[in-house]
Amino acid sequence: MKKIYDLAVKTGSYQKDGETKNRYENIGSVMENENGQFMFLKRSFNPAGVDFKEGSESIIISMFAPKEKSGNSQKSDLPDWDDASPAF
């Protein structure tokens, strides 16, 4: 099983060095195996709590290429559900 994308939603923004940065929460991942692609979603994810564009009934879920984990000689293909450490 290979991780193709991390899935994230924008939870807010902040200022750093006079520049506006976005804050994201990891909500799952897109994986791939010999049967095709599929998605894992965090069970506790509630789309009702995500900011949305006024007048829209939809939210945006961004897909980011997974980042290499530093300091670990073994790379896991399983999703990392630890929200204590930033995913981005």
Strand, coil or helix: 85 = coil
- In the prediction, which pLDDT does 47 show? 87
In contact, 39 and 30? CB cutoff 8 Å: yes
Apex 21 CA angle, 16 and 24, nearest 5: 130
What pLDDT does residue 58 have?
86
Query: Can you tell me the mean pLDDT for 12-21?
Result: 93
CA separation for the pair 20, 57 (Å, rounded): 26
Instruction: Specify the pTM.
Output: 0.68
Which range has the worst mean pLDDT, 3-12, 19-28, 29-38, 79-88?
Answer: 79-88
The helices-and-strands tally (H runs, E runs) of the chain is: 0, 4
Which of the listed ranges 31-40, 55-64, 72-81 does the model predict with the highest average pLDDT? 31-40
